[in-house]
Amino acid sequence: MRQLSFGQSNALAPRRSFGGGAFIGKFLEAQNLVYPQVLGELRAGRKRGHWMWFIFPQIAGLGRTANSRHFAIDNLKQAEAYLAHPILGGRLRECTESVLLHGPGGPAPRNLVQIFSTPDDLKFHSSMTLFHRADAGEPLFSRALRAFFRSREDQATLDLL
């Protein structure tokens, strides 16, 4: 799989604080390059590529790398815009469902370290917490938190919200 690098200059570029074109566009551009591969890896139960930042984004302030800062979500309003976007929200849900196939009671149960390795298992936790808070009425993120984290949200994410 092709490794993506989005460069320090992009990571430090100012971001819009809402779900506008630049915010949405950077995720679409990155995902469009690798999405079929991502879905295949998740359905197989083993992440192999370098795509976690833009498939399961986290709240700003958690990541230290250029890519994690570039793809960080600044606030709940941006997380809501991400979920409301027909492609990004749909892909996040599809990818989360694919991970849940490997959860307890699924057809091929695995733990998150087996699926993602570390630290990406922690990034998944923070992403599920962020999107659960962005749309508490969406049962999918609650299911992921319940399946892999005993319904506990990621405290570092909560502290930044």
User: 37-41, 105-109, 151-155: lowest mean pLDDT where?
Assistant: 105-109
**15 vs 125: CA distance, rounded Å:** 24
End-to-end C-alpha distance for the chain, whole angstroms = 34
pLDDT in tens, 110-145: 899 999 999 999 999 999 999 999 998 999 999 999
> Quick check: 15 pLDDT over 60?
no
ω before 119 within 30° of 0 (cis)? yes
pLDDT in tens, 64-118: 999 999 999 999 999 999 999 999 999 999 999 999 999 888 777 889 999 999 9
**147 vs 106: CA distance, rounded Å:** 10
**102 vs 124: CA distance, rounded Å:** 14
Q: What is the mean pLDDT of the chain?
A: 88
Predicted TM-score of the model (pTM): 0.86
Domains and CATH numbers, the chain: 19-160 (1.25.40.380)
